[in-house]
Structure 1
Amino acid sequence: MRIGLLTESGHPYASGESRLWCDRLVRGLAQHEFDIYTLSRGVGREDEGPVRLPPNVERVRTAPLWAPADDGRSYGRRDRQRFTAHFERLAAALCRPEPTGDTAFAEGLHGLAELARDRGGLCAALRSEVAVRALESACRAPGARRSVQRATVPDYLAFADHLERALRPLSLDWYGPDGLGAVDLCHAASGGTAALPGLLAKRFFGVPLLVTEYGVHLRAHYLSAGASPLSAPVRALLAAFHGRLATEVYRQAAVVTPGNAHARRWQERCGADRAKLRTVYPGMEAERFAAVGEDPDGGDPATLVWVGRIEPAKDLVALLHAFAEVRREEPAARLRIIAAPVREAEAATYVAHCKALAAQLFPDEAAAPHAVGDNPVSFEEIGGPEAPGLADAYAAGSVVVLSSVVEGFPVSLVEAMLCGRATVSTDVGAVVEVIGGTGLVVPPRNPRALADACLALLRDPERRQRLGAAARARALELFTVEQNIAAFRDLYLELLSLAPVHREAEALDADGGPLPFALTAEAYVPGHWTATARPTPAWAGATATGSGHV
């Protein structure tokens, strides 16, 4: 089977969980061929080249969305009229409340895609005066939402710029018999813009679309919009665009795989059909935590451990206040905050604030330098002298704490479970679903409740060991790479079995009917066996291998 893997700012260039998941998927399904199509939002990421790819990756194609683009394409009168009609339909859908069953957005989106396919890119048209006037008319039309009625010309221009970047996949040269038209299945590794090429592949070629969301794209947009410098009308228009795009992606997808029930609820609110939803949990490499997990008595019994990426959403302020309560009742208690290296300015500011708070809450201990273990609170980096590896970070204590106020799928919590550690977590995101009764869960932003739960486990070693063992068993059953890959292997085969058959031209007779035995079985065996085998595609900087269908 040939899979078109659609990514955005991820595999095969970026680092992080998104790249790791895609890499594990491709390597774990070595019997399938993969073509990777990635939308890049980062300057210079692709300059470093992709990670080393396995031989079943046939090609990698990249399209940057971060740079301004002008394809120099100008339309004639009829094409301008065609563009105007489709764009007006799309703009009107964004400006009015979304009624049930409204198809105007989908009609406008697919109409623009067909125009781009027939007449070339949309870049100049989407930034043109025609587009700005259409936006103005839609915002001022009767029935338009009040949030967009106050928009001004700078707002129209700003939104047109964002919309052109979001719709740039419509103008790519990926849609042809040698591109996405040649794949058996499109698998979008996230929703939103990354799934747009999959929508077009389905419309133009009937290729089934599978969408995987471990973090819901629309939710991420809403969370980031609060810190945006854009005006309120532009934010409202962008929210409407992403919301309607999510609805169309879910409607067209053959299957949508949320990473947890929290993501599933978001998708259902956006109109996803429950019959299409299949929860597939992210896969973690259990082997790297095996040594710690098989040693339940390891770790300092008086030490609490927090592991993760420091940012305000993790609410370390509440954790420090909670630990102050713990320290009053258990003077021997320690808290080790072990984090990934800080690179963003906002995170560095937050770290400085947390360190200042720790010095304020524990003035006597912070007055002089201490080694780790002497100071009640320590801030360390993964890879440092006291925490040389991720597994060692979890092994440092007997209880792992998660204090977040916002969380999607809690990766650090699963890692702690694989290490056989008892956990105390706040009830956010998918925490309760992941824990499943094998740890203590308290309300967020409640230091007293967090402290009480930590004290309960610090004072009861038998309960800690029992919960840790149950947590590890649950993680090994549900959250491993093996179960994740097995789930997608089954989904690929199911979707291919339901997809329409695409016959080779030489396998049809003069009347368009099938010719039995027109192609030998060897034509579908990987390698250069026959002249009818698929020609070897190539992409710059990689070694391609010849292959056929499996």
Structure 2
Amino acid sequence: MRIGLLTEGGYPYVSGDARLWCDRLVRGLGQHEFDVYALSRSEHQEDEGWIPLPPHVRRVRTAPLWMSEDDGVVLGRRARRRFTECFGELAAVLCGVSGGVSAAAEGPSMGALTPEADRFANALYGLAELAREEGGLAGALRSEAAVRTLERACRAPGAHRAAREARVPDLLAVAGHLERALRPLSLDWYADDGLGTVDLCHAASGGTAALPGLLARHFTGVPLLVTEYGVRLRTHYLTAPDAPPAVRSLLAAFHNRLATEAYARAVLVTAGNAHARRWQERCGADREKLRTVYPGMDARPFADVGESPECADPGTLVWVGRVEPAKDLVSLLHAFAEIRKREPATRLRIVGAPTGPEGAAYLGHCRTLAAQLFPDEADGPHAAGDNPVSFEEIGGPELPARSDAYASGAVTVLSSVVEGFPIGLVEAMLCGRATVSTDVGAVVEVIGGTGLVVPPRNPRALAEACVALLRDPERRARLGAAARARALELFTVEQNIEAFHGMYLEIVSRTPVRRVVLDEAGEPLPFAHPAEAHVPVRWSASTPPLAGRSAPGWATDRPVRGADPVPAPEGAR
């Protein structure tokens, strides 16, 4: 089987999103071939290079999203008119204009009766076909004509309020973003020697990464699988909060329509947890297409600690993660002050490095707060001695590995106010540690009753849960063992690879082979692949009897000539 893996800002680059799980997936499915089609986000990412690739990665094709390249395409008069019509229809959908820009100016038309999802799809694929015929649309999407078309849509009758308030800088910002997001339209990835030769496309995220898969499906009928461990539409809503309302509104409408189109055209859509799955359902994903596939964790680095649950200090709480405001270490420090009143011998180890300037500033704030909360313990939170709070990083002499951090304490604490899939929590579970967590993101789904969960931003509840576990070693051991068993059952690399392998086989088994094999002269080679029949079937509870027999459980959507009716198994009657 040949899989086209579609990524944006991640694999196979050294840094980026979804790099780790993509690498594990590719290496775990060595019996298949992979073609990687990667969109890069920055020059720095490209300069860092790729990670080592296994031999069954047949090819890697990349394209930048961070720079504008002049494709040299000059559209003729007829092509410019087609572009204006398609781009105008797309802009009209984003602005909420019924029937398109020209229809809004001239009066009602049949376009007003077309659902917005279909209008967006027609405009998107119309631009894709024009780009394929002309050799690209990068220049047209950056042109003044595109900005003027977007402006007409914003000023058209029926446009929503935020669009009507868009000014020239807003229009330029939106047009620039649309040009970057639609850049896959101008790529040469969809020919017979590209995505047209793969058996299925697997988009490692939604958004722009899924767009090449949509075009491959449109041009060559290649099935599409979309995986989202962090829903890109949700990420867009949470980013750029200071952007003008018109920019946020128009870009949100675009990403919403693109996500809806990807979910509608994909054969299967997978989410990393139930929280992401609910987002996908709200964006229009069919529930029958949705599958939950948890991220795969490598359990081997935590095996020694998990099999030996004894901790170095039964009176120590451990927090492990990236130091940033979303982790709410302030509430954790206030909770620890309450814990010290009840259990004076308790210690807290905060293990993690800051992320960027904001994280460094937040770490300094937490150090200052710890010094204020415990003024008589030592000279400062980072000083040696009997200070109950320590700020450390992985790689030091005391904590050479992440597993050593979890082994150093009896209870692992998560105090976040925003969380997706809590990787650190799964690591603690693999180490057999009892946990106290805040109810955010997918925490409850991951814990599944093997730890204590409290409301976020509630230091008193966090303190009471920690004290309850510190005073009950038998309960800690019982919860830690249950947590390790749950993590090994659901969150390992092997489970992740097996789930995707099964979906690959399921999708290909329901899709006819369309691959065209060429000979040395470049001519089609007939009968290069054995003929295959694609007979869609469905399980039916009640089906008319065939040939006098009792009603079988299998029924085909259409008859198959020359096939004798086969009785169903005894249990299906």
Match of 1:495 in 2: 507
1:247 matched to 2:260: yes
CA RMSD of aligned residues (A): 2.0
SS of 1:301 mapped into structure 2: coil
Mapped to 2, the partners of 1:139 and 1:319 lie a distance apart of: 47
Match of 1:382 in 2: 394
Tell whether the 8 Å contact from 1:303 to 1:396 is kept in structure 2 after alignment.
Answer: yes
Q: Compute the displacement of 1:368 (Å).
A: 5.5
Match of 1:177 in 2: 192
Match of 2:39 in 1: 39
Tell whether the 8 Å contact from 1:6 to 1:195 is kept in structure 2 after alignment.
Answer: yes
Mapped to 2, the partners of 1:240 and 1:375 lie a distance apart of: 52
1:215 matched to 2:230: yes
Distance change in 2, residues 1:460/1:58 (3 Å): same
Match of 2:562 in 1: none
Tell whether the 8 Å contact from 2:378 to 2:386 is kept in structure 1 after alignment.
Answer: no
Mapped to 1, the partners of 2:57 and 2:117 lie a distance apart of: 39
Match of 1:400 in 2: 412
- Within a 5 Å distance, the mapping from 1:118-517 to structure 2 comes to 118-226=133-241, 228=242, 230-339=243-352, 341-367=353-379, 374-502=386-514, 504=516, 515=527
Tell whether the 8 Å contact from 1:69 to 1:123 is kept in structure 2 after alignment.
Answer: yes
Give the letter for the 1:205 counterpart: T
Tell whether the 8 Å contact from 2:418 to 2:441 is kept in structure 1 after alignment.
Answer: yes
Tell whether the 8 Å contact from 1:90 to 1:104 is kept in structure 2 after alignment.
Answer: yes
Q: Which runs of 5+ in 2 are unaligned?
A: 99-113, 532-573
Mapped to 1, the partners of 2:385 and 2:412 lie a distance apart of: 16
Mapped to 2, the partners of 1:210 and 1:416 lie a distance apart of: 31
Paired residues, what number? Answer: 512
Q: Compute the displacement of 1:225 (Å).
A: 2.7
Distance change in 2, residues 1:56/1:503 (3 Å): closer
Q: Which has the higher contact order (CA 8 A, sep 6+)?
A: 1
Distance change in 2, residues 1:372/1:257 (3 Å): farther
Distance change in 2, residues 1:239/1:518 (3 Å): closer
SS of 1:284 mapped into structure 2: coil
Q: Compute the displacement of 1:46 (Å).
A: 2.1
Percent sequence identity is 72
Q: Give the TM-score normalised by the residue count of structure 1.
A: 0.90
Tell whether the 8 Å contact from 2:371 to 2:381 is kept in structure 1 after alignment.
Answer: no
- Within a 5 Å distance, the mapping from 1:63-82 to structure 2 comes to 63-82=63-82
Distance change in 2, residues 1:518/1:454 (3 Å): closer
Range 480-489 or range 136-145, more displaced? 136-145
Q: Give the TM-score normalised by the residue count of structure 2.
A: 0.86
Q: Compute the displacement of 1:383 (Å).
A: 1.0
Q: Compute the displacement of 1:409 (Å).
A: 0.6
Match of 1:545 in 2: none
Range 449-458 or range 100-109, more displaced? 100-109
Tell whether the 8 Å contact from 1:334 to 1:373 is kept in structure 2 after alignment.
Answer: no
Distance change in 2, residues 1:466/1:108 (3 Å): same
SS of 2:350 mapped into structure 1: strand
Q: Compute the displacement of 1:296 (Å).
A: 1.5
Distance change in 2, residues 1:262/1:368 (3 Å): closer
Tell whether the 8 Å contact from 2:328 to 2:415 is kept in structure 1 after alignment.
Answer: yes
Range 65-74 or range 430-439, more displaced? 65-74
Give the letter for the 1:426 counterpart: T
Tell whether the 8 Å contact from 2:371 to 2:380 is kept in structure 1 after alignment.
Answer: no
Cα deviations by residue, 1:245-280 (Å, 9 ceiling, x for unpaired): 111110111100101100000000000000100111
- Within a 5 Å distance, the mapping from 1:19-30 to structure 2 comes to 19-30=19-30
Q: Compute the displacement of 1:366 (Å).
A: 3.8
Give the letter for the 1:296 counterpart: P
Distance change in 2, residues 1:15/1:297 (3 Å): same
Distance change in 2, residues 1:45/1:516 (3 Å): closer
Q: Which runs of 5+ in 1 are unaligned?
A: 520-550
Q: Compute the displacement of 1:369 (Å).
A: 7.7
Match of 2:60 in 1: 60
Mapped to 1, the partners of 2:81 and 2:384 lie a distance apart of: 70
Match of 2:123 in 1: 108
Give the letter for the 1:316 counterpart: L
Give the letter for the 2:417 counterpart: V
Tell whether the 8 Å contact from 2:381 to 2:390 is kept in structure 1 after alignment.
Answer: no
SS of 1:457 mapped into structure 2: helix
Range 393-402 or range 12-21, more displaced? 12-21
SS of 2:432 mapped into structure 1: coil
Match of 2:537 in 1: none
Tell whether the 8 Å contact from 1:122 to 1:171 is kept in structure 2 after alignment.
Answer: yes
Mapped to 2, the partners of 1:351 and 1:384 lie a distance apart of: 18
Q: Compute the displacement of 1:387 (Å).
A: 1.2
Mapped to 1, the partners of 2:147 and 2:516 lie a distance apart of: 45
Mapped to 2, the partners of 1:191 and 1:202 lie a distance apart of: 15
